[in-house]
Structure 1
Amino acid sequence: MASMCCIVPEHVLERAVEARQVPQHILNACQSTLEKTRELQNTRVAHGRHLLFGQEQQPSEGIVPPYIHEIIARQAVTEEQRDSSLSTVAHDTKYRVVAGKIRRLNRTIYNAHHSMDEDPARDKIMIKEGGPPITKEQDPSYDANECYNGFQKTYDFYFEFFKRDSIDDRGLKLDGFVHYGDRYLNAFWNGKEMVFGDGDGVIFNGFTDELDVIGHELTHGVVQYTMGKQSNWLIAEGIWGKGINGRGLRDMKAPGTAYDDSKVGSDPQPAHWKSFKKLPLTSDRGGVHINSGIPNRAFYLASTMIGGYSWETAGPVWYKALTSGELSENATFREFAELTIRNAGDYEEKIREAWKQVGYPFVEGRDEL
């Protein structure tokens, strides 16, 4: 069974409920989100279906690069010009290749219509691959458009930098459901699709406009099928509502400093093994989100010590370790650290040093990953 991971950890919502410094309807939204999240985690949706797309086609290479068509579309005098350029870009993009792999991006965005069904109905399609964006009249939130675009950017990232064709590396269809629940304060990958609540506009804004939310959750799918990315090292920057003192949900550079507000508490993430929080499985599933600050900071340290773009240096090392087949579901901090070191190549010394700075070799028997 695939585990479900939400972008907003339970402890954040629990602290908001305990603080009781927001209106009752917001407290109700926090509580109902917690209850539904726990229900979903308990049932856990089965592994995502593998979806293959018939016979592979030979790639087509256009003489006019995509960025020219994109400029034409933005500056088009007529709708016909705009539509023609956009359809050309969509077609060329669909069949672009990297190292012999055919690009098979296939997205569908659905409207959950505020339902909280475990298996949402798929009869309310908002955007299909290559289709027109949603207009403001159809949906003022633009959530569907943001989700659709975020899926492409995440797919592009894996395809261009890791030569990976979708989550399962075999063209898995990317499905997204927006408008899930009534003021549902979370977004999650449930094992086969992405699901987005609307937020409440007080504690949390919407979740679809933050690319690293989508990237983070879809990466859970990559891990699922095989067993980081931002310049400011924040996860879900801009997710907090107006008046909340926070820069994001997590800070990979400085775990424990992402937010501090009486309405939601302070960021509990440790930055070093000496501050590891040993928690029961009933609390953040043993600290899976909270204690991730330690390996997050190790990745930040490794990336900055090596220099350059992290997705070209430390990123491929972490990815190789994750997809090596040597990582078990119960891997420890130490086991994962040593796996990255073994796969580090020319970066071995710096990656080893990065792990040392957060407590490697993680002694005292408290090394559950």
Structure 2
Amino acid sequence: MHTCRSILCITPPHMLQEIARNGTATQRDLALRTLITSEQMRGQRRAMRSMSAFLAKAATTGNKQRIIYDAKNGSQLPGTLIRNEGDPATTDPAVNEAYDGSGVTYDLYSDIYGRNSIDNNGLRLDSTVHYQKGYDNAFWDGKQMVSGDGDEDLTAADRLFNRFTAALDVIAHELTHGVTQYEANLAYWDQSGALNESMSDVFGSLVKQYQRKQTAGQADWIIGEGLFTSNVIGVGIRSMKAPGTAYNDPVLGKDPQPAHMDNYVRTVEDNGGVHINSGIPNHAFYVTALEMGGYAWEKAGRIWYKTLTDKLQERSTFQQACDLTYEAAGELFGTNSLEQQAVKKGWSEVGITTGGDAPSGCLSTVLSVFGLKVRAETQ
């Protein structure tokens, strides 16, 4: 079941499928409902794609502009307007978390990379909280972020997920799907889809580190820290530092992410394993950032941002991402610089060497010079 083909979700479908197999009756019910809802949203997002340019222009402001809506446990989007830009905090923590989280995400992109919101043209940041009842996910639907409340209505013994706004990196992850949509527009399947997921994890983690003022060595590199309740044996939904170790739980199963190409997972599930194989480029970024030291958003993040916005194509592969980040590092910091060598080491640690797929990588570079992109099929 390709549950997140057209809406870009944080909770991987394999995790929800494990809950549907292993959980209690109430846990299984919520997991199945979340899977079904994600599937239903696919068709809606197809229609939104053709309107994305219009929607972007309609919501363009030129300044930071956040609006938080409340779906009131329904599915009608965007819902009831609760908090506008500049309004004081409310008594609803989900509203405040969505507001603050989108603000920190905006600030990282603006202050560090000079980006003017998601579309680089001042797009208003719309978020909806309290989506449906027992919705164990958060997603970017092509024009806004949507968050569920997790299992907050279940008994304490049955709860697996907290509300999804509680994790800053989840908010930044979903908003970064919007950045990717307006830039490389990485096709959401196989390696390009895993790169799409990885970019969201990279900048999701960087937003969290930026807010905490943590160096690469101080950061935990966990995605979704705080999402799990104490009933779950795990620290988050993914680990960039050690893919495959984020959780090992009787209900959720074991984290299936590989950290090396030797363990690349070939599957038709999850759009070719986009939430699984993203562990490989995730770990490459982690090693790169650790090798450089200091604040990861300053050098490693700048290299990945340049690659996402200037170099990657819709169907880029891991090999091309390796070559293009190496190229970007040379352009930003100099050929054979310590930063470029750190990028080389990062990819080497996951089994990918620079120049390993030269013809394809060179073609992508030539096309990008002329502003051309390989066209992907509409999902």
Q: What range is the shorter-chain TM-score in?
A: 0.7 to 0.9
Contact 1:50 1:168 in 2 (8 A): yes
- Which aligned pairs between 1:111-190 and structure 2 lie closer than 5 A? 111-117=70-76, 120-122=77-79, 124-135=80-91, 139=92, 142-190=93-141
CA distance in 1, matches of 2:295, 2:11: 27
Aligned-residue offset at 1:317: 0.3
Aligned-residue offset at 1:26: 2.2
Q: What's the CA shift string for 1:318-352, capped at 9, x where partnerless? A: 1101111x322211110111010101123212211
Contact 2:138 2:145 in 1 (8 A): yes
Contact 1:203 1:241 in 2 (8 A): yes
CA distance in 2, matches of 1:233, 1:9: 18
Q: Secondary structure at the match of 1:204?
A: coil
CA distance in 1, matches of 2:183, 2:177: 10
The one-letter code of the counterpart of 1:232 is: D
Contact 1:52 1:171 in 2 (8 A): no
Q: What's the CA shift string for 1:116-154, capped at 9, x where partnerless? A: 24xx144x111011112212xxx4xx1111101111111
Which residue, out of 14, 17, 21, partners 2:20?
17
The one-letter code of the counterpart of 2:225 is: E
The one-letter code of the counterpart of 1:331 is: S
TM-score of the superposition, structure 2-length normalised?
0.76
Q: Secondary structure at the match of 1:195?
A: strand
Aligned-residue offset at 1:211: 0.5
Q: What's the CA shift string for 1:33-76, capped at 9, x where partnerless? A: 0011122134425244224788x9xxxxxxxxxxxxxxxxxxxx
Residue 371 of structure 2: aligned partner: none
Residue 327 of structure 2: aligned partner: 342
CA distance in 2, matches of 1:167, 1:243: 36
CA distance in 2, matches of 1:155, 1:265: 34
Which structure shows the bigger proportion of residues in helix conformation? Answer: 2
CA distance in 1, matches of 2:179, 2:300: 17
Q: Do residues 221 (structure 1) and 178 (structure 2) align?
A: yes
Residue 316 of structure 2: aligned partner: 331
Residue 287 of structure 2: aligned partner: 301
CA distance in 1, matches of 2:183, 2:32: 34
CA distance in 2, matches of 1:209, 1:243: 17
CA distance in 2, matches of 1:344, 1:40: 38
CA distance in 1, matches of 2:162, 2:111: 30
- Structure 2 gaps of 5+ residues are 153-158, 185-201, 210-218, 331-336, 361-379
Q: Secondary structure at the match of 1:311?
A: coil
Residue 160 of structure 2: aligned partner: 203
- Structure 1 gaps of 5+ residues are 57-102
Contact 2:59 2:124 in 1 (8 A): no
Residue 50 of structure 1: aligned partner: 56
CA distance in 2, matches of 1:257, 1:210: 19
Q: Secondary structure at the match of 1:343?
A: helix
- Which aligned pairs between 1:73-88 and structure 2 lie closer than 5 A? none
Aligned-residue offset at 1:271: 0.4
How many residues in Structure 1 have an aligned counterpart in Structure 2?
304
Residue 90 of structure 1: aligned partner: none
TM-score of the superposition, structure 1-length normalised?
0.79
CA distance in 1, matches of 2:78, 2:298: 39
CA distance in 2, matches of 1:308, 1:268: 30
Q: Do residues 29 (structure 1) and 30 (structure 2) align?
A: yes
CA distance in 2, matches of 1:242, 1:354: 33
CA distance in 1, matches of 2:232, 2:37: 24
Residue 297 of structure 2: aligned partner: 311
Contact 1:51 1:173 in 2 (8 A): no
Identity of aligned residues (%): 42
The one-letter code of the counterpart of 1:299 is: F
Instruction: Call closer, same or farther: CA 1:295–1:53 in 2, change over 3 Å.
Output: closer
Instruction: Call closer, same or farther: CA 1:257–1:53 in 2, change over 3 Å.
Output: closer
Which is higher, the Rg of structure 1 or of structure 2?
1
The one-letter code of the counterpart of 2:73 is: H
Contact 2:165 2:171 in 1 (8 A): yes
Which residue, out of 245, 251, 260, partners 1:257?
245
